[in-house]
Amino acid sequence: MIFGLGVLWLVSEIMHRDKDDEIRKKLTIFNIVKKVDTPTIFFFLGILAAVAALQSAGHLSLLAGWLDEKLGDIYLINLAIGAISAVVDNVPLVAGAMGMYEVVTPDMLRIAADPAYAAFFVQDGLFWEFLAYCAGTGGSMLIIGSAAGVAAMGLERIDFIWYLKKISWLALAGYLAGAGVYWLQAQIMV
């Protein structure tokens, strides 16, 4: 990360070397880094470090094996991940799923025991597209499942129980309807 920042610094210095000092000061790395939300960066770094630790320990591959064995269907697996995102932030869930399931390359697809199942995991495959939908939309089932929901709780004084009674069932219906449309679309296009 520091190396990347150094490269960015070098490139920006080269790009802006012919500009006035007044303009160049506004475009320096030092000025830009002052405006960065450091706690957010540390939050994402912490998530990625935690996911990397779980992956190194082998827990994510065990969880992937369990999900494959018990649910056995990419749609059910992603629906479960989406339901969990109502409680857990979607960023660590997606990062965890990326650690659980490997992106399948064409070479891996050729030697796979079940090429039809492995095809779901190719880059931009159905698993990854549906994961993005489920993790992003599933967070709306509870107000605490998304950063926007938590912000709305604070700004608009929305009560968790009120949201649970009045909105959650609508969010669940929308989540399942969208998932159904996605599934139907995938069946038609195959």
Q: Domain count for the chain, please give it.
A: 1
pLDDT given at position 1: 65
Any domain includes 124: yes
Angle, CA of 31, 32 and 34, to the nearest 5°: 70
**Alpha-carbon distance 151 to 137, whole Å?**
17
Angle, CA of 74, 80 and 81, to the nearest 5°: 90
Domain extent, residue 117, equals: 58-189
Question: Can you read off the two tokens belonging to residue 83?
Answer: 């339901």
Any domain includes 170: yes
Least confident segment among 29-33, 75-79, 88-92: 29-33
Any domain includes 17: no
Any domain includes 146: yes
| pLDDT tens-digit series, residues 152-165 | 888 888 999 999 99
| pLDDT tens-digit series, residues 122-143 | 999 999 999 999 999 999 999 9
